[in-house]
């Protein structure tokens, strides 16, 4: 099993299994995810991967970090802790998960959207479980019957229709989600059944979108994604701020099918062998090999200082030579980070893992943090007391 297999295996773990494991083991670790998390730390902790999403802007160029510093026998493991954060420590995305607008129920996609992607205010929606109303906005180029943006205390979050009309033809899907304007396809991997191969970057993404625009009559053949077995083709990474999706998939198969989970469901359309192989051959002719992309980039290490507006995390414990360690600056302007210090009371000497979608600037400040968890440091599979 290689590092890609380890990471993919984590995505296939059922949430109920993880929850059950969590009840039976130490509260800070989900044993079922240990192997996969190890791959994340060793492989992704030091790789700055260009994201398809709109990453937080920083004035400096990203830091260049040597990925060979790490000792392959040393790993950090972390999983979600079963904490019921007080209301004041919940992010807007965590606090409000459902709304009702014009009698239709929508659920959060847990992704924020920029104001410049909004079209117009549609009215107010009711917040599920709260005596609150928030403004609902239409998203440019997107059917508001499928997706809305909701203004939650100044943060705009994408919500999706709980029970959307299932498209019968590809044109309904393509136009409804405004794919010609909302989707960029820049990264893909080879696909063979459920297995994935090498990763590539391509400048042919717009060509793919244009070809798909001519496939409007392609019929829907499945809405459960059960087409993968034995199929070969290419799978694009599909990320879109406007659609509120991050690293979903869009697959084109050699035998003429397109399948995507952009809409949560695994919609499969029969676009025909000619169109499919046109896309595949053109993309492969306009590509270059790329590094494997982890779902999120990760840094891990020991907290060495808790200051005013920041914490410092030293990763030397994971290095072959401790002198090669880097001290990362983690801003505490993020509630996701601050609650671990203020409420959970992490302190200097504790091990942590931080996931991020931004970059690491030249002063080693980590930008675009999406999660933080207490971690454990292991060497040759044995827990190391810090």
pLDDT given for residue 264 in this prediction? 84
> Domain residue spans in the chain?
3-83+296-383, 88-161, 170-290
The CB density around residue 282, as the number of other CB atoms within 10 Å, is: 15
Half-sphere exposure of 42 (CA within 13 A, CB side): 19
Contact 294, 43 (CB under 8 A): yes
d(CA 71, CA 174): 47
What digits encode the pLDDT tens for the residues 72-106? 898 888 866 678 899 899 988 888 999 999 999 99
Burial (CB count <10 Å: 0-12, 13-18, 19+), residue 309: exposed
Residue 381 has pLDDT above 80, yes or no: no
**Which fold does the domain 170-290 belong to in CATH?**
Immunoglobulin-like (2.60.40)
The SS3 assignment for 279 reads helix
What digits encode the pLDDT tens for the residues 136-160? 999 999 999 999 999 998 999 999 9
Is the whole model's pTM more than 0.85, yes or no?
no
Residue 152's alpha-carbon distances to 133, 135, 156, 310, in angstroms, are 9, 8, 6, 26
In 3-state terms the chain splits into helix, strand, coil percentages (rounded to 5) of: 25, 40, 40
Q: What does pLDDT average to over the chain?
A: 83
pLDDT given for residue 380 in this prediction? 77
Place of tokens 């990453």: 55
The SS3 assignment for 386 reads coil
What digits encode the pLDDT tens for the residues 190-203? 988 767 789 999 99
Cα–Cα–Cα angle for 300, 303, 309, nearest 5°? Answer: 105
Q: How many residues does the chain have?
A: 386
d(CA 148, CA 105): 11
- Residue 103, token pair as written in the block: 């009698």
Residue 257's alpha-carbon distances to 81, 138, 218, 250, 260, in angstroms, are 40, 31, 9, 10, 10
- State the sign of the Cα–Cα–Cα–Cα dihedral 118, 159, 131, 114: negative
Contact 118, 135 (CB under 8 A): no
What digits encode the pLDDT tens for the residues 37-61? 333 333 333 333 333 333 444 445 6
The CB density around residue 383, as the number of other CB atoms within 10 Å, is: 12
């Amino acid at each position: 099993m290689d590092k890609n297999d380890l990471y993919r295996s984590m995505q296939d773990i059922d949430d109920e299994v993880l929850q059950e494991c969590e009840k039976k083991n130490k509260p800070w670790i989900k044993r079922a995810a240990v192997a996969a998390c190890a791959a994340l730390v060793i492989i992704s902790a030091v790789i700055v991967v260009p994201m398809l999403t709109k990453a937080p802007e920083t004035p400096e160029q990203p830091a260049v970090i040597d990925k060979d510093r790490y000792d392959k026998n040393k790993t950090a493991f972390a999983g979600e802790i079963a904490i019921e954060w007080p209301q004041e420590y919940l992010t807007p995305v965590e606090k409000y998960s459902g709304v009702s607008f014009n009698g239709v129920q929508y659920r959060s996609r847990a992704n924020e959207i920029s104001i410049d992607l909004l079209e117009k205010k549609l009215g107010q929606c009711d917040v599920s479980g709260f005596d609150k109303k928030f403004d609902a906005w239409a998203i440019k180029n997107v059917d508001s019957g499928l997706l809305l943006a909701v203004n939650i205390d100044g943060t705009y979050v994408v919500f999706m229709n709980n029970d959307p009309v299932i498209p019968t033809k590809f044109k309904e899907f393509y136009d409804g989600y405004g794919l010609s304007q909302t989707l960029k396809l820049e990264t893909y991997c080879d696909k063979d059944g459920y297995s994935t191969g090498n990763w590539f970057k391509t400048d042919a993404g717009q060509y793919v979108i244009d070809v798909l625009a001519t496939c409007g009559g392609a019929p829907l053949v499945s809405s459960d994604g059960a087409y993968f077995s034995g199929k070969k083709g290419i799978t694009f990474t599909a990320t879109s701020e406007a659609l509120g999706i991050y690293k979903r998939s869009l697959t084109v198969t050699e035998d003429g099918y397109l399948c995507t989970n952009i809409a949560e469901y695994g919609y499969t359309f029969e676009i025909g062998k000619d169109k499919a192989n046109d896309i595949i051959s053109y993309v492969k002719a306009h590509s270059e090999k790329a590094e494997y992309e982890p779902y999120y980039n990760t840094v891990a290490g020991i907290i060495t200082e808790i200051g005013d507006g920041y914490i410092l995390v030293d990763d030397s414990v994971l290095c072959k030579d401790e002198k090669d360690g880097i001290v990362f600056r983690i801003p505490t302007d993020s509630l996701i980070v601050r609650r671990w210090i203020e409420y959970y009371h992490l302190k200097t000497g504790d091990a942590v893992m931080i996931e991020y979608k931004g970059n690491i600037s030249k002063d080693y400040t980590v930008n675009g943090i999406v999660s933080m968890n207490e971690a454990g440091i292991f060497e040759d599979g044995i827990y190391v007391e810090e």
